[in-house]
Homo-oligomer: A and B are copies of this chain.
Amino acid sequence: MIDLLIGKIDKLNNPTVVGLDPQYEMIPRYIREKQLERHGKTLKAVGEMFYEFNRSLIDALCDIVPAVKPQIAMYERYGLDGIEAYLKTIAYAREKGMFVIGDIKRGDIASTAAAYAGHIGGVDVEGVHFDPWKEDAVTINPYLGYDGIKPFREICEKQGKMLFILVKTSNPSSSELQDVMTDDGRILYERTGDLVADWGEGLVGKYGYSRIGAVVGATNKAQGEALRHRLPHTFFLVPGYGAQGASGRDIGGFFDTDGRGCIVNSSRGIIAAYKKSDRFGEADFASAAREAALSMKKDITENIF
């Protein structure tokens, strides 16, 4: 999958991923009204709104953006109906040829981690295989150590799937634990990064990157550049671009000398672009998203050095 992902990025010359993280207020009024009329004030109505919104976004983006990253929390909030919209969104994005990163940030141990690994590995029932989630890759939290990674790694090894493990996140309070200096001179997130590199050994594909990637926030330029040098075989998923403050200039150095090594996420800045535009009305939200995605692509590719 790492080679598939990099192949898609190369083909579109676009190392970005759109975060499909709908919030109720982002949904254009006409979609809200239609679904409320059909389903009443229910969670089902919200699920249908989200799916309709995402479907149009995927249609508008699938020929220019290689991947989507739905954030499961936004769907999980609405219970089963929300999760159904998450699953339908994934199925539709895959149908349109997009790579799907499930932003699930799960993290647990032993048999529990094995159960979560069903997100990428599916599950067998009496000899019949099911794949209810269908993500190509998922995000994972490292706080519990390798016990929480192992079952996922096995699926990456056997089925070619991918992981992105949180190393340095883009939020201000990530410093509380991640930036702590430790006794051997490494900052905690550096230790996490080194662990991720270790866990990824033996899973390196033809572009030199492992199927075990890292989440590295765009909001700290120097840290990201240093991590690029430190972890030459670790592919980065980079949040924090756009709405969280980072621009192309901040992250040029997160890429390698071949212009590879990262996929940069933007969520609100793309999917809710129509809200910040004078030229696009809410009926044109998908066109606004496409324009914002092209502008992000330009900003990032121009700044890779």
Contact surface of A with B, Cβ cutoff 8 Å: 21, 23-24, 36, 41-43, 45-46, 71, 73-74, 76-84, 87, 105-113, 115-116, 118-119, 123, 125-128, 130, 132-133, 141-148, 166, 169-178, 180-183, 188, 191-192, 195
Contacts and interface: CB of A to CB of B under 8 A. Distances in A.
Contacts of A116: 73, 76-77
Given A24-B125, A71-B108, A148-B171, 16 more contacts: A41-B126, A43-B130, A71-B115, A73-B116, A74-B115, A76-B118, A76-B119, A77-B115, A79-B130, A79-B133, A80-B80, A145-B177, A177-B195, A182-B182, A182-B183, A182-B188
23 contacts: A21-B112, A45-B125, A71-B112, A73-B108, A76-B119, A78-B123, A78-B132, A79-B133, A80-B83, A80-B87, A81-B132, A83-B83, A105-B107, A141-B143, A143-B178, A144-B171, A145-B174, A145-B176, A147-B172, A148-B171, A180-B183, A180-B188, A181-B183
Contacts of A125: 24, 41-43, 45-46
Contact of A118 (B41, B77, B130): B77
A43 B132 contact: yes
A106 to B, nearest CB: 7
Contacts of A188: 177, 180, 182, 188
Which of A23, A80, A177 has the most B CB atoms < 10 Å from its CB? A177
Contacts of A105: 106-108, 141
A158 to B, nearest CB: 17
A102 to B, nearest CB: 11
Contacts of A41: 125-128
Contact of A36 (B126, B175, B178): B126
Contacts of A82: 132
A31 B119 CA distance: 26
A143 B45 contact: no
A132 B191 contact: no
A132 B79 contact: yes
A145 B175 contact: yes
A82 B41 CA distance: 25
B174 A180 contact: no
Nearest to A124: B24
A126 B176 CA distance: 37
Contacts of A170: 109
Nearest to A84: B80
Contact of A115 (B73, B109, B132, B175): B73
A115 B76 contact: yes
A107 B141 contact: yes
A188 to B, nearest CB: 7
A97 to B, nearest CB: 23
